Amino acid sequence: MNSQRGEWSSRIGFVLAAAGSAIGLGNIWKFPFEVGNHGGAAFVVVYLFFCFVLCFPVMVTEIAIGRKTNKNPVGAYKALGYKNWSIVGILGVLCGVIILSFYNVVAGWAFGYFLEMIIGNFAIGDQFGAFVSDWFQVGIFSAIFMGTTAFIVARGVSAGIERAAKILMPSLLVIMLFLVIYAFTLPNAMEGLKFYLVPDFSKISLKVMYSALGQAFFSLSLGMGALITYGSYLSSRENIVSSAALITLADVGIALIAGLMMFPLVFSQGIEPTGGAGLIFVTLPGVFQSLGPVLGVVIGSLFFLLLSFAALTSTVSLLEVPVSYAVDELGMKRKMAVWSIAGLIFVIGIPSLLANGASDFWSKFIELPGVGMTDFMTFIGYLANDSFLPLGGFLVSVFAAYVWKKNKLHEQIAIGQDHYAGSFVSKFIDVTVSIIAPIILGILFVLTVLNRFFGVDVI
Ligand code: PHE
């Protein structure tokens, strides 16, 4: 291991940091509203299938490439001797920049809600529209958020990221479980659970499939090299397969718990589950209010504070990707790279700040044949999450299986793990990375683009 680059202090440190990257707004903000928008339980079933069958092997592959090369996503392909493929790494770095630019805005909402909860302003739920269209205020919250992210990334992987994740992730879980139990006691909770857990398979459409696929990749931080980067700090003593399994289980587990919490709450408040990006922000303040003035403030502010922290461990990993690229490939000093890239991404995020009502141009950015009028932030979300991430997953699988070659991949995975060769897991990873992932991801990518951006009615 190159000691200049840093290394995770322990396996649990790596797992927690990678789980911290995976667990974030994707699980608690995005997952519930995607489920709500796509008909409930049917979406959940497709999502689970993609997480375990497609994404888990892709995750193992990304971590293995990172650990083998000790490099950022661009440098990794070069280090393996395939310079042309570094374009895939570049795509990943760009994707990270795009995602962070709008993710940081939503993180600003979460942080702003934390402050609103502290002062007991439960009415903010009904004022969500006005809150997000105040671009100046949200801009300040987002700037604070980006600054904090940069501060942590500047301190390096182990000191900053690991330590924060160790304490904060478990606290978030506890508070969510409390809210699940509370939600179950409310009127109409059962209806919410039914919507969330009893699938109507006739609702599975192409749109449900690609949205679930995009959600799975986004939530697991895959397809753009975040886990190549995190894997590059992993020591060769560690077991990649069991680490990836833990990360996947933790991420899926938190998403499922977020749904268990949200749908009973949404239905008990008489709110439509199709509320979109505002779902948790509209629903939760009223719920906190119903806990009474003291408990409401305590639970409400803790919830949004921990949500902000969950988002922070994700923004940290998003920023780490372009930063490691700039440090390794462009020879920039780490601190310089961190602050200049964070500043640049904040600026790139300004249209997203304006896209929620502040400016008509950005709020009614484009008429998409598949979905109708779409604001800029949602639009780049579609582009990055639903299209580029699965494309990145497709390319990384094809690369690992056919260019770098399967035996090299398996050789790397086997390091740090007894009895890997010939095991069921190795066969499963083999078949998925070389056949299932390229086929399904390739087809779905093409269909997604045709349907979402060109309005072609494919299924
Ligand atoms: N997985 C993160 C979340 O769910 C978002 C993310 C995507 C982070 C891609 C890194 C890379 O919130």
Q: What is the token pair recorded at 379?
A: 């639009």
- Ligand 1 mutation target, pool 314, 383, 389, most atoms within 8 A of CB: 314
Sorted by sequence, the CB contacts under 8 Å of residue 4 that are 6+ apart come out as none
Conformation bin of residue 238: beta by default, left when phi > 0, alpha when psi is -120 to 50: beta
Please identify, by atom number, the ligand 1 atom nearest to the C-alpha of residue 317: 10
pLDDT at 459: 62
DSSP state for residue 9 in the 8-state scheme:
S
Q: How many CB atoms lie within 10 A of CB 274?
A: 12
H helices of 291-431, where?
293-330, 334-348, 350-354, 360-363, 376-381, 389-398, 406-414, 424-431
Cα 82 from Cα 76, distance rounded (Å): 9
Residue 364 CA: distances (Å) to CA of 99, 348, 376, 377:
20, 18, 7, 10
Sorted by sequence, the CB contacts under 8 Å of residue 92 that are 6+ apart come out as 73, 74, 223, 224, 225, 226, 228, 321, 392
> CA-CA-CA-CA torsion for 424, 426, 429, 432, nearest 10 degrees?
-60
Separation of CA 103 and ligand 1 centre (Å)? 9
Residue whose CA is closest, atom 4 of ligand 1? 26
Domains and CATH numbers, the chain: 11-454 (1.10.4160.10)
Please identify, by atom number, the ligand 1 atom nearest to the C-alpha of residue 251: 4
Residue whose CA is closest, atom 7 of ligand 1? 221
pLDDT at 155: 85
Separation of CA 311 and ligand 1 centre (Å)? 8
pLDDT at 169: 78
- Per-residue burial over 63-101, b if 16 or more Cβ lie within 10 Å, else e, is bbbbbbbbbbbbbbbbbbeeeebbebbebbbebbbbbbb
pLDDT at 158: 66
Separation of CA 336 and ligand 1 centre (Å)? 24
- Ligand 1 mutation target, pool 218, 307, 380, most atoms within 8 A of CB: 218
- The H or E element spanning position 60 is helix 56-69
3-class DSSP assignment, residue 366: strand
Q: Per-residue confidence of the chain (459 residues) as pLDDT tens digits?
A: 344 566 777 777 788 889 989 999 999 999 999 999 999 999 999 999 999 999 999 999 999 999 999 999 999 999 999 999 999 999 999 999 999 999 999 999 999 999 999 999 999 999 999 999 999 999 999 999 999 999 989 987 666 666 776 777 788 899 999 999 999 999 999 999 999 999 999 999 999 999 999 999 999 999 999 999 999 989 888 999 999 999 999 999 999 999 999 999 999 999 999 989 999 999 999 999 999 999 999 999 999 998 998 999 899 999 999 999 999 999 999 999 999 999 999 999 999 999 999 999 999 999 988 778 999 999 999 999 989 999 999 999 999 999 999 999 999 999 999 999 999 999 999 999 999 999 999 999 999 899 888 888 776
Instruction: Give the pTM.
Output: 0.94
DSSP-assigned states of every residue in 196-247: HHS--GGG--HHHHHHHHHHHHHHTT-SSSHHHHHHTT--TTS-HHHHHHHH
Cα 408 from Cα 79, distance rounded (Å): 14
Ligand 1 pocket by Cβ (under 6 Å): 21-22, 24-27, 99, 218-219, 221, 224, 226, 314, 317-318
Separation of CA 100 and ligand 1 centre (Å)? 9
DSSP-assigned states of every residue in 18-49: HHHHHSSHIIIIIHHHHHHHTTTHHHHHHHHH
The answer to whether 174 and 26 have CB atoms below 8 angstroms apart is: no
- Ligand 1 mutation target, pool 63, 217, 248, 318, most atoms within 8 A of CB: 318
Cα 73 from Cα 58, distance rounded (Å): 14
Beta bridge partners of 372: 368
| Cα separation of the two ends of the chain | 49
Separation of CA 74 and ligand 1 centre (Å)? 19
Separation of CA 290 and ligand 1 centre (Å)? 32
Residue 257 one-letter amino acid? I
DSSP state for residue 292 in the 8-state scheme:
-
Residue 144 CA: distances (Å) to CA of 82, 119, 186:
39, 19, 36
3-class DSSP assignment, residue 386: helix
Cα 380 from Cα 386, distance rounded (Å): 10
Separation of CA 251 and ligand 1 centre (Å)? 10
The answer to whether 308 and 114 have CB atoms below 8 angstroms apart is: yes
Cα 314 from Cα 255, distance rounded (Å): 15
pLDDT at 159: 67
